[in-house]
Amino acid sequence: MHIGYIPVMLMFVFILPPSQAQESDSLKAITLKEVVVQSSYKKISNLNSSQPVDVADKTFLSEHFTGKLTQALEHIPGFNSMEIGSGFSKPMIRGMGFNRISVTENGIKQEGQQWGADHGLEIDAFGVERVSIRKGPASLLYGSDAIGGAVEITQAPPPLENQFFGEVALLGKSVNETLGGSLMLGLKKNTWYTKLRFSEQYFGDYHIPADTVVYLTQHLPIEGERLKNTAGFERDLSWYSDYRNRRYYTNFAVSNAYQKVGFFAGAHGIPDASQLTDDGDSHNIELPYSTVNHLKITSRQQYAWDKIIGYCDMGFQNNHREEWSRFHTHYGTQLPPENDADKELEFSLKTFSFSAKIKTYGNGHWEHTVGYDLQYQQNSIAGYSFLLPEYGRFTSGFLWLSVYHLHPKVSVSGGIRYDYGRLNISAYRDAYLENYLREQGYDNGLIASYKWRSYPVNRNFGDISGSFGIVWKLDNLHLIKFNAGRSFRLPCANELASNGVHHGTFRHEQGDTSLSSEHGWQFDAFYTYEREKLYFAFTPFGSWFGNYVYLKPTGEWSALPHAGQIYRYTEAEAVFAGAEVECGFDFLHSFSFHFAGEYVYNHNLSEHISFPFSPPASMRNTLTWKHKRIHIWEELQSIAPQKRISKNEEATPGATLWNMGVAMNILLCKTELEITLSMQNMLNTKYYNHLSFYRKMEIPEAGHNAQILIKIPFKNKLK
């Protein structure tokens, strides 16, 4: 199917842009004096928030585009991409991820199976136009699941002129023979603005600089240095429309993201060398594999009065994930299902969201925001395996945030939020396991504790978060910010009630129904110095948690066959600390240098060890040369060894990577083509990502990768 897709995309490249080229205007041209805008969206965001905010615009996203959003954003210090295989990844901010990071798009929080280490984001990277990253606790604004930070995906402003416009994008990568493309068509007519986008990506098995990997001392061959069955494809369709008329504004968005990706056979279930024999086809998808379909519908209604603006966001999401693996029984009495015998797991999560906020502004020195959030989730399961039970989850929260401008250069902010949550988890009795344990001769007490794979849970939670911050703009060069507060997170269904073999992580994971809501105290400081050709930023942070929840190896051997040790969700006292540093300067007219570094320290005060998945210190040195329509950069990325590890976690050696790229704007038939060529890991260095899903198997990161991204924008003015 993808072979026929490329000629269609090439047709848009060579035929559509000239046919849509702008006609000459009959009015006399008038040359105006150049206007230089000194501010930016990032500067405005940092002035309006006491927390550090980083912004990735379209230029940044194009330069670092890989086809996956989180991999582009990891060039921002403090943000990490947790690799989960097959090119997919999940966001981490300052060492926190999973349900501690809130990802929002068009004002609605993205809800999927983010609790799992092998589940990524279902968002079309081609369609992302602007991203704001809030580092540190964001529970006050976003609720429970933003204790570690937030990633906000928003639309770029619509064009000022009436026009028909669009964009064709083509992507190619050598490391896994990716072939992808995206077509966007849009229309701006007076108060209406709408756009439609369709994207596809096809990729084959990944190249790695290794011919052997190790799991539990077992050496597994990697034939041809390719991870067999890591091929897949992604298909995305989205539509966005908004209407603006004086005081009233509304938008409506629909998106559907579909992915089908193979699991490397050595990383799903019990590794078996016989499954890794080369089949001669690097693009086929065999068992085991996963499919994910994420449907999202969102809308905003907004109205502005003289000194008040009110708006509400509504959304519905359906995240449907299936994992397929040839039926295998862990118990001798278990029979394959009559239908879909190879469907191992199925999760279907439906989420309804509502948020309403009222802001007052222009009232002397004060600005106030009051808001209410509500969310309801229902998760159903299927498949011959068991890990997570069915559950329903309801949360709601009230917030108040006030900003007082002491002086044109000094503002003080403070707020408080109360959240209520209810979690109703269904019971599940495993009759096959009960019979198996009885046949194995286990006593009745152990059989009684294991046959209930999930106990019924019906719990209510309530907690408070708050913050206090100061923004002080000393002058046009210096900016200082400080923020401190209390944050919290309600426990998730997997932390309370998961109980089974998680093949994706090679262990028996078990929840604890007695866990309480996670809470902590956190602070951030932020200093920037910026002038015309020089920039410096320093952002230290720290936090303390009285009951940080993590997955702890218990030392108990599971009675489940092929399960190994039990890992149980446990509470512990914890501290996190660290800093990010950025600096840059321009020299010799066309050159610039940029440095970005980060360090995260965490410590389990209850066990006196580190927590798992702690990112190592790293830095990037980038030299850039710009001249007219050409932009060339060279980057030296240094990753420190990570020796501060948790139990059953391997230390990871450091690495130095060399990356290069060039971006060009070429004028062709009155259309400006944007071409970006890049090379990652140019020396084919063998290195490991400490945050990788595959790290435990000593699978290195991808080898050298040559990539090309071509964007062909076009537009035609309308009367």
| Residues 287-307 as b or e (16 or more Cβ within 10 Å = b) | bbbbbbbbbbebbbebeeeee
Please give the residue range of the domain that contains residue 580: 2-20+40-717
- Show Cβ contacts of residue 196 under 8 Å, excluding neighbours closer than 6 positions: 184, 185, 186, 238, 239
Q: Enter the tokens of residue 532.
A: 């015309």
Q: Is residue 25 a part of any domain in this protein?
A: no
Q: Is 578 exposed, middle or buried (0-12, 13-18, 19+ CB in 10 A)?
A: buried
| C-alpha Rg value of the chain to the nearest Å | 26
What's 279's domain CATH number? 2.40.170.20
Give the whole-angstrom CA distance, residue 522 versus residue 540: 11
Q: Is residue 391 a part of any domain in this protein?
A: yes
- Show Cβ contacts of residue 306 under 8 Å, excluding neighbours closer than 6 positions: 362
The pLDDT tens digits for 47-98 are: 677 888 899 998 899 889 988 899 899 999 999 988 766 667 889 999 998 8
The pLDDT tens digits for 265-306 are: 766 666 667 777 888 888 999 988 999 999 999 999 999 998
The pLDDT tens digits for 237-248 are: 999 999 999 899
**Helix (H) / strand (E) containing 42:** helix 41-48
pLDDT at 266: 64
Number of domains in the chain: 1
Give the whole-angstrom CA distance, residue 367 versus residue 426: 45
pLDDT at 15: 36
Q: Residues 285, 256: contact at Cβ < 8 Å? A: no
- DSSP string for residues in 128-154: --EEEEEES--HHHH-GGGSSEEEEEE
Q: Residues 175, 207: contact at Cβ < 8 Å? A: yes
Q: Is residue 34 a part of any domain in this protein?
A: no
Q: Is residue 29 a part of any domain in this protein?
A: no
Give the whole-angstrom CA distance, residue 400 versus residue 36: 37
Neighbouring C-beta atoms of residue 277, cutoff 10 Å? 11
Q: Is residue 31 a part of any domain in this protein?
A: no
> What is the pTM assigned to this prediction?
0.89
pLDDT at 6: 38
Low-confidence ranges of the chain (pLDDT < 70): 1-47, 84-87, 117-118, 216, 266-272, 330, 332-333, 363, 503-506
Q: Is 713 exposed, middle or buried (0-12, 13-18, 19+ CB in 10 A)?
A: middle
Q: Is residue 33 a part of any domain in this protein?
A: no
The CB-based long-range contact list for 179-183 (8 Å cut-off, 24+ gap) reads 179/2, 179/6, 179/203, 180/67, 180/126, 180/234, 181/5, 181/6, 181/9, 182/124, 182/126, 182/127, 183/9, 183/12
Q: Is residue 27 a part of any domain in this protein?
A: no
Q: Is residue 274 a part of any domain in this protein?
A: yes
